[in-house]
Structure 1
Amino acid sequence: MRGREVRRVRKLLGLSQRAFAERVGVAGNTVARWERDELTVGSTAAILIRLLGDLQRKEESQR
């Protein structure tokens, strides 16, 4: 998962980097490093991020 995808999901959810980090269960600066592609997103976090994005899109399509 690339940083731009992390950023896209975070913005889709309308969350700050800190709030997104809390949802995913990582340190606040980790999200910033992911988004700059300085740190690789682990497989568990990548799955969670994709699920959060999928749930948000589904919720929006049902409105």
Structure 2
Amino acid sequence: MSYVAKSVKYVTLVLASLVTILPIVVIVMASFKTHKEFYASSPLSPRPAGSTSTTT
């Protein structure tokens, strides 16, 4: 197998892995936010520092 074919294969695998893992990361990050925080910010951004509210 040529170098180009191997490179294309691994780039494709990495991209497919990222597409597969991204929704799981969004769900995990969103589980630590309240509904208000989730809808007010990006799903991937962490909770603001000093925000300790756990009510919905």
The two structures have a TM-score, normalised by structure 2, of: 0.34
Bigger proportion of residues as helix: 1
The structure with higher relative contact order (CA 8 Å, sep 6+) is 1
